[in-house]
Amino acid sequence: EDQVTQSPEALRLQEGESSSLNCSYTVSGLRGLFWYRQDPGKGPEFLFTLYSAGEEKEKERLKATLTKKESFLHITAPKPEDSATYLCAVLKGTYKYIFGTGTRLKVLA
Amino acid sequence: GAVVSQHPSRVICKSGTSVKIECRSLDFQATTMFWYRQFPKQSLMLMATSNEGSKATYEQGVEKDKFLINHASLTLSTLTVTSAHPEDSSFYICSARPPRQGPPYSGNTIYFGEGSWLTVV
């Protein structure tokens, strides 16, 4: 069964305390893996798209990596404004986007 | 800036009435749009996939007569909740996919609207 699992479900970090969020998937025929940030009461905001194992993308304090079975979103020296829910999704086929349940990140000042 | 816009952001309607939510693709012509529903602290639940000029494809368990989706143009899709009931109260989000790969958009990436809060009283 196609599945996307994110861990941990929730994460509390002190400001400056680096960590990683995990997105593991069991999807055949992957056509892209996507990371989004979602603030409360808002639609998801696009962060990264990854296509093949070994690929990495960076943006400010965030870096996304991809292997054949999982992706990591590394957060370096996070700030309180990085607090949000981070969603991972994979594309199977042409239109089927499968979302994980997200990681709720709280960064404390 | 936003590439997909939703309107209204918040709406309150009376039980039994219908309400329409609009989703506009601002920067590109979207042949495919998606509608989601999200419950508090839960992930996105796909309701339907909307292709311009054709009938929407609904996910299993989604009542197509209750949630009417129209994708009449390449930049506009609408979701109409008919005969709304309090249990339809939720956060509804749309997304759109650019038709081609290449800058400034990542191929196959879908971009989301800001979401619409529906409260049925």
CB spacing of B112 vs A91 below 8 angstroms:
no
Q: What is the pLDDT of residue A79?
A: 98
All residues of chain A having their beta carbon less than 8 Å from the beta carbon of residue B112 are 36, 43-46
For the segment A7-29, the average pLDDT, to the nearest whole number, is 96
Q: Which of A32, A34, A43 sits opposite B93 (nearest CB)?
A: A43
Q: What is the pLDDT of residue B41?
A: 82
Q: Which of B41, B42, B114 sits opposite A42 (nearest CB)?
A: B114
Whether the CB-CB separation of B42 and A99 falls below 8 Å is answered with no
For the segment B21-46, the average pLDDT, to the nearest whole number, is 91
For the segment B92-108, the average pLDDT, to the nearest whole number, is 82
Test the A interface: residue of B24, B43, B59, B112 with most A CBs within 10 Å: B43
Mind giving me the DSSP string for B53-104? Answer: TSPPEEPTT--TTTEEEEEEETTEEEEEE-S--GGG-EEEEEEEE-SS-BTT
Distance, in Å, from the CA atom of B3 to the CA atom of B96, rounded to the nearest integer, reads: 9
CB spacing of B109 vs A95 below 8 angstroms:
no
Predicted confidence (pLDDT) per residue in A44-84, tens digit:
999 999 999 999 999 999 999 999 999 999 999 999 999 99
Q: Is A102 on the interface with B (CB under 8 A)?
A: yes
pLDDT category at B27 given cuts 50, 70, 90 is confident
Q: Is A9 on the interface with B (CB under 8 A)?
A: no
Q: Is A104 on the interface with B (CB under 8 A)?
A: yes
For the segment B52-78, the average pLDDT, to the nearest whole number, is 92
Per the model's pLDDT, the better-predicted residue between A29 and A49 turns out to be A49
As a whole-number percent, the residues of chain B with pLDDT over 90 amount to 71
Q: Is B42 on the interface with A (CB under 8 A)?
A: yes
Q: Which of A32, A44, A91 sits opposite B112 (nearest CB)?
A: A44
Cite the DSSP H helix spans in A5-106: none
Q: Which of B41, B107, B115 sits opposite A42 (nearest CB)?
A: B115
All residues of chain B having their beta carbon less than 8 Å from the beta carbon of residue A46 are 106, 109, 111-112
**Two tokens at A8?**
């941990």
Asked if pLDDT for residue B105 goes beyond 80, the answer is no
Sign of torsion over alpha carbons A39, B13, B23, B53: positive
For the segment B33-56, the average pLDDT, to the nearest whole number, is 91
Asked if pLDDT for residue B1 goes beyond 70, the answer is no
